[in-house]
Structure 1
Amino acid sequence: MNAVQFWLCIVCCLASSVICQGEKENLLVCKSVPADRSGCLPNDTRIKTVENRLDDLSGPVWKPILKQYHVRTTLSSWHEARTYCQSIGGDLVTSGMRDPQTRKYIIDNFVKPAGAEYYWIGLSDIEREGTWKWNDGVASNSQNTDFASGEPNNAGLTGGNVDWPVWKPILKQYHVRTTLSSWQEARTYCQSIGGDLVTSGMRDPQTRRYIIENFVKPAGPEYYWIGLSDIEREGTWKWIDGVASNNHNTDFAPQEPNNAGLTGGNIDCGHIGHYYNYQMDDHACSGLQRAICERVAP
């Protein structure tokens, strides 16, 4: 049994009749996916189980963070759509629209097949006219909100919401490498196993908190490379998936980045660690640290 097989997941959701986003507690982790779903373990034992079975795995262990999406076909106003999403454990989609890869996946696989319709998302300027904000509190900006040319223009026709009666999951997986290496070596390693250094998992506050609490802190007070650097241009920080770093998607510690470090070399690479309570910091790329890899589940 390899690591990928071990981390096959069954998402058990209630079919329910807007794009909703939620994190369900009834995610099951299985050694395989038998028809009768036997061999499944409750979600709250998955980390312990994986730690106990590390010696049996032939490759790196990818730990999944699942966000689920549900498209509702009933037409409703924006407020009604949000109330519905909250009633089934989620909210109108936010982080799934901010992350370019996830947004593209949702559009190509869930939205386009439904035809030329309109869908509510978790974005508005209800609190203050002209100040757009996501429902989860993240301010809208040119890096995380892909408005069409000339929009928003405060003009429109009547709105509606088109959905499907099913939760559809998008899974990203995370692997913590304990072998110490430089930033570039860590990135090469992550790419060699089908991913890259973590990017969207650090930009989304909820996902980042989950990674830190469940994967990073239990490993002890160490430092971890992430997919952030100003290698291309000094002082211009950018995520390695092409997203520009800004105050909304990059949680630098106070007075950081300061282009200062203990080890030699250019202080151009981002990491997180216990010293700044797992906020982001710059460090010499040649330093030897652990790493967090990220990939879209195969």
Structure 2
Amino acid sequence: MFNGVVQFFHWVNPAKDEESYRGWLWRPNEPNGGVFENCGLIERDNVHGLSDANCLRFEYFICEDDNNPCTAEINYSPESCDITGRYAVYFSPSTWQQARDYCVQQGRVLASLSDEAEVRYIRLGILKLDPLYNAAAYWVGLNDITTEGSWVWEGHPEMGVEFDVPIYGRWNPFEPNGGPTENCVELKIPPEGGLRGYNDVGCQWAKSFICEIKCQQRDFTVDDGFRLLNHALYSVQVSKLSRCTAACLKDKACQSVNLIPTGTAGAYACEINTLNQEEATGGDYVAQEGGIYAGTSGFPYYG
């Protein structure tokens, strides 16, 4: 881990041997062993931080692999676009660009979160993997790198950006506030009572990150004024058609959608259908005032 003489400790990995990696690590009243305790130790108790210890002690040890970031899958399945098999969490601190590039190398993209269910599922999964909140903020794909103030999801430009998801899917108070110096977004997942949601920060900071399978874009045939009946698997509330088709792309059972006005301006019911108009019986495809049908064929493929 690290070793030293008297008060000057350094990491055996020189890439981490900077002051920023030292000052916050010690337990209370540590280091305190002087010339007799020259090696670092993580104690097996509930007090966070490091102690200096005699290097001759017999203890368990921890190795790390610089070439392979530490990862934990949230029920990850490479053949599923369902919420229960789409995400992987990486606990190796990386800049936003490094996180993005690593996700792409793995055939994934930085996570884009389009509804409350996704954000809550990720939070609960992370709590199981990291119950002590060692990492309370994670890079996601949201950024305004290309155009200041125009927030887009990396890998999912068709989704658009809306922050109406309760509790976990909205900006933290007074965010975004960084202007041109803070173009990347972290999702905060702190203990109950802490600030949670999106925060814009500088892309150069090293953070844990979340990748997801990229469900590739499919072509939709749009038919205004129509609706497919009797084949809806479920319904979600959206504000426009692109959000509805984005929800379809993330569910491998979806073959078409209906966008139905709710009577409230800017609010629609998005019905996720298991069949498209060509596969359904003729009587199921009917006129719907103000409605929009969008259908596709075939199952999504995965990249």
Which TM-score band (shorter chain)? Answer: 0.3 to 0.5
Query: What is the TM-score normalised by the length of structure 2?
Result: 0.42
Q: Per residue, is there more strand in 1 or in 2?
A: 2
Considering only CA atoms, is the larger Rg found in Structure 1 or Structure 2?
2
The structure, 1 or 2, with the larger RCO (C-alpha pairs under 8 Å, 6+ apart) is 1
Q: Per residue, is there more helix in 1 or in 2?
A: 1
Query: What is the TM-score normalised by the length of structure 1?
Result: 0.42
